[in-house]
Amino acid sequence: MKDKILLFGGTTEGRELSNYLRSEDIPHAVSVATQYGEEILRENGEDSLLVGRKNAEDIEKLIAKDSYNIVVDATHPFATIASGEIKKACENAGVTYLRLSRNTGTNASGSANILYVDSLDKALEVLREEKGNILLLTGSKELNKICESIDDTARIYARVLPNEDSISKCTAAGLSGKQIIAMQGPFSKTMNKALFEEVHASVILTKESGKTGGLDEKLEAAAECNIKAVVIKNPESKYEAGDCYDLEGIISEISRIIGIENPNLKAQYALTESSSLNKKTIVLAGVGPGDARYFTLELKDALENADIIFGAKTVISRLEKNDCPKVPVYRGEEIHEYLKAHPEFKCPVVAYSGDISLCSGASSSTEFFAEHGYDLHRIVGISSVTLFAKKLGLHLENVRIVSAHGRECNVLGTIRGEEELIILPSGVEHAAEICREILNEAFLWGDNSRNRYVIKIGYELGTENEKIIEIFDETDLNSLTGLEKGKCLLYIFDKNADNSSVIKGLSDDEIIRGKVPMTKEEIRALSMRKLALTKKAILYDVGAGTGSISLEAALTAPGIKVYSIEKKDEAVSLLKENKEKFALSNMEIVKGEAPLALTELPAPTHAFIGGSSGNMREILDAVFEKNEYARIVINCVTLETFSEVIQILEELKGRVRDISADIIQVQVTRFKKAGNYHLSDAINPVYIITLQKERS
């Protein structure tokens, strides 16, 4: 075979490629910079080795001397000078240059607190698992997407350029006040460190921007503050040119050049005995809800064969009979780093409480390990939900299961209309809070909680401390004293669920009124239909009045967040009464006049304007500034207001491209009984105007 390959090593992928070349008897030599690199490759079975650093001239002479016609650059991802010399030599010698891309999931300094990810989506998966404040150093372009992906935006801070466009994107994403840090770089390590400490950051998000982007200064500051840094890799650093390939791509390209047809890549290198990269295996196992009585046979076999076990402290403490090392770590990226530093472990097991297929941290770990080339084996366990159902004699096909563990959850909103519900709370105290909310709602509606609800708490299920506690009233919650540190589940049965309407509308008579104007029932129905609220909508109800629109919106879905904006004291009092009557935790009352009252609020997805106090133009500008795609519904009773909206709409069309308007006029007539007759009682005609910018 006339083809001969010169491989510049320095990475695990380079060793894998040398395995493939040997297995196919392809003439080659591997060049490494150090004796340490030589030792590793000799242990890996490679004999054709060249040792020592080389510049472009040295490489060019080597190519000519030994007649290499293909050169593969598999040097370290940050060895940019070496790569430049190799590529220059290939250009001068006129031979094929192939770049073997590497996984840069670890940082250059080797710090375990720095995690490199391939995309913003991967970064968001990591951030969703993090606790504490998040500092964004990625600019303003993707702020909206980032903030939409994090449940609690109050812990997000963003450093952006000090210009109007950047700041407006911050406010549109729901950030305000001290969450927006408008500064012009470059920033020193000291300045970065001061900022990280000022906002009490637990994790930073940045891009692989190199020296010009101040990446080193950010990472050094993060290391000194002992906080995590998530770095989005530069796509061009992974695929900087058409001659850059991953391991499989390199093998395919080499096979094409030297004439190997249809190479069986898995047979040739992924499963070779000498291959260590692709033989990584890991077991993710659910250990059940309690002690060893609930271990499956498959789990027991895995634990017996394990040479190291990972998991949360509370989980691995239940595996005392296993003599192998136990490491109190359960996040995929941390386990991956540990195993890279300790390659002697070949049979790792990650233990998770309960069943890994139900509300488990194994979900994100499964994806992580699959993406990092592990041979993944999942062992399901008995979930605490299943054990709870057994204890209570439930049939789970009739029960809705909701996780409120470590996340914001509108529990009362979820309960409404559900006959049977199992909730996974954050702990016993959280379960007690939920019980109080349910009991208070029953009291507000005049129900006896014993007649309306069956509430049971399953405490430390599957252990010697197991308890089933039934809650009838506030005094029963006293039985939870002293149990604060245990785990629990909550079962709720609503005896009146079948009587709940599937349409979450309210009649006018159900709403506490006064002398404050209210959007009438029939107009509300059409306006709500025009709003077309989504499951996680953020709604501004401007000029909320009694709150009839706010109430219906908040009752529509538990994930909807409603901000009721009202300036009049009497109306604010009515709003509070109605919010309390319907026990709406997802409705927030904002006293003030729009648009000023909107300043500190998160960006809306929807807005209803029932009263503008003469500020219609300014309100619309404020809403569209926060979110140009917000859906807005306006109710107009007077011709003057309608004319004003039409005029504003014409102006908007000149400034906001692709905005569409839907306009209807509604006139409703009710009939009231008067003696033996029914007399008409007409409601004022109302214009309902819907505005929204069309998405391209």
The pLDDT tens digits for 635-675 are: 999 999 999 999 998 888 777 678 889 999 999 998 988 88
293 Cβ contact partners less than 8 Å away, ≥ 6 residues apart:
462
Confidence of residue 168 (pLDDT cuts 50, 70, 90): confident
What's the confidence (pLDDT) of residue 268?
42
**More confident call, 185 vs 558:** 558
Confidence (pLDDT) at 186:
67
Whether residue 459 is predicted with pLDDT greater than 70 in this model: the reply is yes
As a whole number of angstroms, the distance between CA 299 and CA 285 comes to 7
Q: What is the pLDDT of residue 277?
A: 42
pLDDT of residue 103: 44
Instruction: Please give the pLDDT value at position 601.
Output: 96
**Residues 458-473: what's their mean pLDDT?**
89
Average pLDDT across the chain, whole number = 85
Q: Which of 651, 662, 620 is nearest to 532 (CA)?
A: 662
Least trusted range by pLDDT, from 177-186, 198-207, 347-356, 462-471: 177-186
pLDDT reading at 279 higher than 60: no
- Per-residue pLDDT band at 266 (split at 50, 70, 90): very low
> Across the chain, which distance is largest between two alpha carbons, in Å?
114
Contact present, 576 and 603 (Cβ < 8 Å): no
**The pLDDT of residue 579 is above 60:** yes
Alpha carbon 499 to its chain's center:
36
**Cα 324 to chain centroid, rounded:** 34
**pLDDT for 475-503, tens place per residue?**
888 777 777 677 899 999 988 776 667 77
Return d(Cα 554, Cα 412) in angstroms, integer.
11
Return the SS3 of 128: helix
Percent of the chain with pLDDT over 90: 41
CATH for 114-232 is 3.40.50.620
Domain 385-499 CATH assignment equals 3.30.950.10: yes
Contact, 546 vs 569, CB < 8 A? no
Angstrom distance (rounded) from CA 369 to CA 531? 42
Q: In whole angstroms, what is the distance from residue 465 CA to residue 521 CA?
A: 52
SS3 readout for 581-606: HCCCCCEEEEECCCCHHHCCCCCCCE
34 pLDDT more than 90: no
Q: Residues near 227 by Cβ (< 8 Å), separated by ≥ 6?
A: 113, 196, 201, 202, 203, 204
Is-same-fold flag (114-232; 385-499)?
no
CA torsion, ordered 492, 497, 502, 506, to nearest 10 deg: -100
- Relative to beta strand 70-73, strand 49-51 is unpaired
Mean pLDDT value of segment 15-42:
83
- What confidence category does residue 571 fall into, taking pLDDT thresholds of 50, 70 and 90? very high
The CA radius of gyration of the chain, in Å to the nearest whole number, is: 32
Task: Express each pLDDT in 76-124 by its tens digit.
Answer: 654 668 888 999 999 999 999 998 875 443 344 445 578 888 788 889 9
How many Å apart are CA 191 and CA 197, to the nearest integer? Answer: 10
Q: What is the dihedral of CA 439, 440, 442, 444, to 10 degrees?
A: 170
One-letter amino acid identity for 25?
D
Alpha-carbon gap, residue 161 to 180, rounded angstroms: 10
Does the pLDDT value for residue 504 go beyond 70? yes
Question: E-strand spans in 417-476?
Answer: 420-424, 453-459, 467-471
* Per-residue pLDDT, 293: 87
Q: Give 50-90 as a 3 state SS string.
A: EECCCCHHHHHHHHHHHCCCEEEECCCCCCHHHHHHHHHHH
Looking only at the bridges linking them, the beta strands covering 228-232 and 114-117 are parallel
Of the options 3.40.47.10, 1.10.3720.10, 3.40.50.9100, 3.40.50.1000, the CATH number for the domain spanning 5-103+238-270 = 3.40.50.1000
Report the pLDDT value the prediction gives residue 662, as an integer from 0 to 100.
94
Specify the pLDDT at position 83.
85
Please indicate whether residue 540 or residue 478 has the higher confidence score (pLDDT). Answer: 540
Superfamily covering domain 508-693: Vaccinia Virus protein VP39 (3.40.50.150)
| CATH entry 3.40.1010.10 includes domain 280-382 | yes
- Cα separation of the two ends of the chain: 55
Q: Tell me what the mean pLDDT of segment 236-264 comes to.
A: 69
Condensed to tens digits (0 to 9), the pLDDT of residues 293-326 reads 889 888 888 888 788 999 988 888 888 666 678 8
Task: Round to whole Å and give the CA distance between 276 and 650.
Answer: 67
Mean pLDDT within 120-146: 89
Band the pLDDT of 687: cuts 50, 70, 90: very high
d(CA 565, CA 567): 7
Residue 595 has pLDDT above 80, yes or no: yes
**3-state per-residue secondary structure call for 530-546:** HHCCCCCCEEEEECCCC
Of the candidate ranges 149-153, 220-224, 257-261, 330-334, the one whose mean pLDDT is the lowest: 257-261
Q: Is 462 left (phi over 0), alpha (psi -120 to 50) or beta?
A: left
Calpha distance 203→187 (Å, rounded):
18
- What's the angle, vertex CA 7, arms to CA 245 and CA 90, rounded to 5? 80
Residue 106, pLDDT score? 38
Domain boundaries, the chain: 5-103+238-270, 114-232, 280-382, 385-499, 508-693
